[in-house]
Amino acid sequence: MEKGISGAVIRRLSRYYRYLGELTEKKVERISSGELSRIMHVTASQIRQDLNNFGGFGQQGYGYNVKYLYSEIGKILGLDFQHPMILLGAGNLGTALANSPDFEKGGFRLVGIFDINPELEGICIRGLPIRMISELKDFLSSQKVEIAILTLPKEQAAQTADLLIDNGIKAIWNFAHIDLDTPEDVIVENVHLSESLMTLSYNLTEYRKTHDKKS
Amino acid sequence: MEKGISGAVIRRLSRYYRYLGELTEKKVERISSGELSRIMHVTASQIRQDLNNFGGFGQQGYGYNVKYLYSEIGKILGLDFQHPMILLGAGNLGTALANSPDFEKGGFRLVGIFDINPELEGICIRGLPIRMISELKDFLSSQKVEIAILTLPKEQAAQTADLLIDNGIKAIWNFAHIDLDTPEDVIVENVHLSESLMTLSYNLTEYRKTHDKKS
């Protein structure tokens, strides 16, 4: 039943999860599908369709139990397990990610930080000392790590990815401006910020064209 | 002809643009559709289909002229114009974005940086002093600014977005963990990092399930 779920569905589930988390914090116990649809700006039928991929969690006439739905979506997204992560690249972006409290709430626990700049060695971020990449192999052989966050410049990113994979990393969250060449059993989730900015630029340009024609 | 182009096509165009930029730097003058397909890990027919949305730019038997295609895709993406931007939020993420040289290459020029923390006032990033948000209105009335990058915490993001829109900003690149409630004529491009990380977590969990069943 969970076969062939598209990336778009998963992204919407993550979004539902964020809203349900906020409702949980506000002690909301149950919510109608109409109300959920209104706050999330998604049609009730879209929500139903998305959840039906996983069996559906609503009850006719009752709506959704917030806490239950939050926990079930969390399970689908794999957030009911701890995910030990390491960070490669302790620049501004890496530091921003390391300091994000939202990730820890989702079970993503940072256990090591690595960089190539010897001047950063030993400096602590969130209580973790910055280590040199030369220590990576030993570190990975002594600790269980699932996810590597890659924020190194593209010149170093490709070879570091190879090193990570050779040492057992199965998932890379890639912020480097490069498409990594990885084996099929390694999961890569790319955040290519320049593609996002260009999408914005395209939409702005299209809007201007239409708008200028009209006025 | 350019109506109804999907976000996925635009993201692929941005990706093509990145690769073509690298080929231009390497002084490659022309490339066959097969070779382009190989380096970009996209089928030649997908590339052709994507480009045909805009008229197509290849020539049977010749392939693609790299410089021409690079420049034409740049025009489609609106990169042939300067896009003055301001940054809201001078934390680690904001600083990382301000320092990204790739954006400037695409015509995205940072002209102002704002924060709410008075301790940051006057500190320079890339030669621009950090200003207080109280100065935002005057700044926007005296300068042409197209895009605002929003990296403030979600508590401040919504009201700052309102202020930006009231003062003429037409496009927001939103990194705050919030879906902004904006008028239809304002373009919002969201970068919700936690949704990306949850997608990775989902894929990792699914992979484990399949893998564990097999072994």
How high is the ipTM of this complex?
0.91
Q: Which amino acid is at A177?
A: H
Phi-psi sector, B23: left (phi>0), alpha (psi -120 to 50), beta = alpha
Q: Which residues of A39-74 are buried (b: 16+ CB within 10 A; e: fewer)?
A: ebebebeebeebbebbeeebeeeebbbbeebbbbbb
C-alpha distances (whole Å) from B153 to each of B19, B50, B147, B175 are 34, 37, 18, 9
Structure tokens at A161: 């990815």
- Substitution target from A92, A149, A215 for chain B, most B beta carbons within 10 A: A92
Using CA of residue A31, residue A35, residue A37, residue A40, what is the dihedral sign? negative
pLDDT at residue A213, rounded to an integer: 62
Q: Which amino acid is at B179?
A: D
Query: Which residues, including other chains, have CB under 8 Å from residue B106's CB and lie 6 or more apart?
Result: A194, A197, A198, A201, B79
Using CA of residue B156, residue B158, residue B163, residue B164, what is the dihedral sign? positive
pTM: 0.91
Structure tokens at B161: 């977005």
DSSP-H helix ranges across chain A:
7-25, 33-40, 44-52, 66-76, 92-98, 101-105, 136-142, 154-166, 193-214
Alpha-carbon gap: B187 to the closest alpha carbon of chain A (Å) = 7
| Subunit contact A198:B77, Cβ cutoff 8 A | yes
| Subunit contact A106:B11, Cβ cutoff 8 A | no
Alpha-carbon gap: A62 to the closest alpha carbon of chain B (Å) = 27
pLDDT band at B2 (very low <50, low <70, confident <90, very high): very low
- Closest residue, chain A, to B15 (C-alpha): A195
| Subunit contact B195:A18, Cβ cutoff 8 A | yes
Q: Is the pLDDT of residue B77 over 50?
A: yes
User: Among A170, A192, A203, whose Cβ lies nearest the Cβ of B204?
Assistant: A170
pLDDT at residue A1, rounded to an integer: 39
Burial label, A32 (beta-carbon count in 10 A; 0-12, 13-18, 19+): middle
DSSP-H helix ranges across chain B:
7-25, 33-40, 44-52, 66-76, 92-98, 101-105, 136-142, 154-166, 193-214
Single out the residue of B168, B175, B177, B203 nearest to residue B189, CA to CA: B175
Alpha-carbon gap: B83 to the closest alpha carbon of chain A (Å) = 8
Alpha-carbon gap: B135 to the closest alpha carbon of chain A (Å) = 25
| Subunit contact A173:B200, Cβ cutoff 8 A | yes
pLDDT band at B57 (very low <50, low <70, confident <90, very high): confident
Q: What is the pLDDT of residues B101-146, one digit of tens each?
A: 778 888 999 999 999 999 999 999 999 999 999 999 999 999 999 9
Average pLDDT over chain A, rounded to an integer: 91
- Closest residue, chain A, to B190 (C-alpha): A196
Domains of chain B, earliest start first = 7-76 (1.10.10.10), 83-194 (3.40.50.720)
pLDDT band at A105 (very low <50, low <70, confident <90, very high): confident
Return the CA Rg of chain B: 21
pLDDT at residue A183, rounded to an integer: 92
pLDDT at residue A121, rounded to an integer: 97
pLDDT at residue A57, rounded to an integer: 80
Structure tokens at B178: 């919030």
- Closest residue, chain B, to A190 (C-alpha): B196
Q: Which amino acid is at B106?
A: G
Residues pairing with B113 in the sheet: B87, B130
What is residue B20's three-state secondary structure?
A: helix
CB B28 within 8 A of CB B66: yes
pLDDT band at A2 (very low <50, low <70, confident <90, very high): very low
pLDDT at residue A214, rounded to an integer: 57
Q: Is the pLDDT of residue A194 over 60?
A: yes
Burial label, B63 (beta-carbon count in 10 A; 0-12, 13-18, 19+): middle
